Amino acid sequence: MSKSIRAGELFEQQREKLALRWLAGQRGDGRLVEAVNTVARRPSLAGYLNAIYPNKVQILGTEELTWLDGLDSRLRWETIEKIIQYRPLALVISKDQPCPEDLRIAAEESDTPLWASPRRGHELLNHLQYHLARALAPQITLHGVFMEIYSIGVLITGESGSGKSELALELVTRGHRLVADDAPEFTQIAPDVLDGTCPDMLQDLLEVRGLGVLNIRQMFGDTAVKNNKYLRLVVHLTKPMSEPKATGIERLTGDTSLRRVLDLDVPMITLPVMPGRNLAVLTEAATRLHSLRMKGLDPAAAFIARHSNFLERGES
């Protein structure tokens, strides 16, 4: 289902932060902007008044209003009519400047939302562009437990019954934080950033077989939960049918791969679930190892280089 946002929703969400006032065109509060319409947009979702490549939210600052005032009456009306015909989501006048009467009439007659704000143009641009980009960003729901471990966002995945929730509970008791259980939502807010959050229905909750639903905030305090975190690592739990037999290289590097989430490849470490293995310690170690690799430190690569040097010295 395509994500979208209505003009009325955007106004309510930003009214207090930007001190927005509705000047005209309130009947156009149902105007929509959809995510599919943003793929090829030029130049952006929100921007200063542009009559050639119109933004979905057009901001009218001092320079834009001065430019309109410099046009002769006929060209001015044609320009305003052209702006209205593009059906913007909204027009926003910055710094509470007086609204031109012809613009107000055109907005009212065409049901084009016309707002005013005491904020400066660049403030409106930053807030609206960020809010719209986030609201319309690609989103996906994955099955697993999303946690913050050593300040890194880690998604724990695996088949039903593999012990994801039990592992998450043990990690919480060791001082790490829960973001979401069962159905974390991930939003691609930047080309290389996946922001993970918890659905409102599941906030602070963790379901453990035999115990039922636990409220982690009430049991362990506010520091045991976190509202959101960027996804950096996937730890996948598997239940091998027999004792796994790793190849020589896997014994050195571990079972590492990549998992595609939206448009990003996220590093994934696979941990076999077997009796006697302390998965909490292994998950902490996997997170520390990932952190080292992100800094350019790879113990396996260092060992292979050390071994190669040893062989070269022996041959010489």
Q: Active-site residue among 251, 260, 295, 306?
A: 251
User: Is 164 among the residues known to form the active site?
Assistant: yes
Q: Active-site residue among 119, 177, 181, 182?
A: 182
Superfamily of domain 139-306: P-loop containing nucleotide triphosphate hydrolases (3.40.50.300)
CA separation for the pair 146, 185 (Å, rounded) = 9
User: Which are the contacts of 107, defined by CB distance < 8 A and separation ≥ 6?
Assistant: 23, 24, 25, 84, 91, 113, 114
CA separation for the pair 71, 67 (Å, rounded) = 7
Q: Strand, coil or helix: what is 64?
A: helix
CA separation for the pair 116, 103 (Å, rounded) = 13
CA separation for the pair 148, 184 (Å, rounded) = 13
- Let me know if 164 is exposed, middle or buried by CB neighbors in 10 A (0-12, 13-18, 19+): buried
> How many angstroms separate the Cα of 201 from the Cα of each of 153, 181, 220?
21, 11, 19
End-to-end alpha carbon distance in the chain? 66
Q: Active-site residue among 17, 41, 143, 174?
A: 143
CA separation for the pair 293, 312 (Å, rounded) = 26
Q: Active-site residue among 56, 119, 131, 164?
A: 164
Residue-level pLDDT, tens digit, the chain, 316 residues: 458 899 999 999 999 999 999 999 999 999 988 876 444 455 578 899 988 888 899 999 999 999 999 999 999 999 999 999 999 999 999 999 999 999 999 999 999 999 999 999 999 999 999 899 888 888 899 999 999 999 999 999 998 888 899 999 999 999 999 999 999 999 998 888 999 999 999 999 999 988 999 999 999 999 999 999 999 999 999 987 655 566 667 777 778 899 999 989 999 999 998 888 899 999 999 999 999 999 988 888 888 888 788 888 877 6
- Going by their DSSP bridges, the two strands 264-272 and 228-238 should be labelled as parallel
Sign of CA dihedral 220, 223, 226, 232: negative
User: Which are the contacts of 36, defined by CB distance < 8 A and separation ≥ 6?
Assistant: 2
CA separation for the pair 17, 130 (Å, rounded) = 13
* 3-state SS record for 272-293: ECCCCCCHHHHHHHHHHHHHHH
For residue 244, the one-letter residue type is: P
Q: What local confidence, expressed as pLDDT, does residue 248 receive?
A: 63
User: 4-135 architecture in CATH?
Assistant: 3-Layer(aba) Sandwich (3.40)
CA separation for the pair 88, 55 (Å, rounded) = 7
Q: What local confidence, expressed as pLDDT, does residue 36 receive?
A: 61
Q: What local confidence, expressed as pLDDT, does residue 43 receive?
A: 56
User: Is 122 among the residues known to form the active site?
Assistant: no
CA separation for the pair 224, 215 (Å, rounded) = 10
**Domain residue ranges in the chain:** 4-135, 139-306
